């Protein structure tokens, strides 16, 4: 949730602050297998820590950013509060670990409940959460990806853009067997970031 509309450095600051406050180990090597469930911090553990902080945005996350800063017709929501509601939704659906999330019997229904939360209606945040939870077939069609597709093909909505990246990855697999939609998404994102840097220079 803290990655919505900001540079990733801000996200790292949040993660490092939570680690400092809780003592949790929060990083793992890219591509590493998920640890055994017994060695994971659970969703309920997170909710318990949030409940211990009267003002978690400041004392736990050290971030008072809004999840929907441009909202006009609905109240703004702190990303810290959005994290709490997201975690509550996971817990109510018996999701406590990476394994229980990926093995959930009704993923589309769970995604719909998560997308019903404030600032998540586009589905981008939920798709990104699935990527971070290890789904290599997932795509995060954020503004970088949408801008790339618009420049090359045409303007698309979030779902159509994700579908296009997934289909393109499948076609390219004949030449690049290790390529996944997640990796293709990342390569496009890096290309767009470099393009933006060149424009700013």
Per-residue pLDDT reduced to its tens digit, 23-71: 998 766 666 778 889 989 999 999 999 999 999 999 999 999 988 877 6
pTM above 0.75, yes or no: yes
> Could you identify the residue written with the tokens 């067997």?
177
Average pLDDT of span 172-177: 95
pLDDT in tens, 85-139: 999 999 999 999 999 998 998 999 999 999 999 999 989 999 999 998 888 999 9
Which candidate, 124, 100, 95, places its Cα nearest to that of 34?
100
pLDDT score at 90: 97
pLDDT score at 67: 85
Domain residue extents for the chain: 8-122, 143-200
């Amino acid at each position: 949730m803290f990655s919505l509309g900001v540079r990733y450095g801000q996200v790292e600051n949040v993660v490092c602050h939570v680690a400092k406050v809780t003592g949790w180990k929060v990083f793992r090597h890219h591509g590493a297998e998920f640890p055994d469930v017994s060695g994971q911090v659970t969703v309920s553990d997170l909710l318990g820590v949030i409940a211990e902080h009267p003002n978690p945005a400041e004392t736990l996350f050290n971030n008072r950013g809004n999840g929907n800063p441009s909202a006009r017709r609905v109240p703004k929501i702190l990303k810290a509060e959005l994290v709490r509601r997201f975690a509550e939704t996971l817990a109510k659906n018996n999701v406590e670990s990476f394994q229980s999330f990926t093995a959930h019997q009704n993923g589309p229904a769970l995604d719909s409940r998560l997308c019903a939360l404030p600032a998540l209606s586009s589905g981008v945040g939920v798709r990104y959460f699935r990527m971070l939870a290890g789904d290599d077939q997932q795509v995060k069609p954020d503004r970088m990806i949408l801008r790339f597709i618009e420049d090359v093909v045409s303007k698309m909505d979030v779902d159509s853009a994700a579908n296009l990246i997934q289909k393109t990855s499948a076609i390219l697999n004949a030449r690049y067997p290790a390529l996944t939609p997640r990796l293709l998404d990342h390569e496009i994102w890096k290309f767009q970031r470099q393009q933006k840097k060149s424009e700013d220079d």
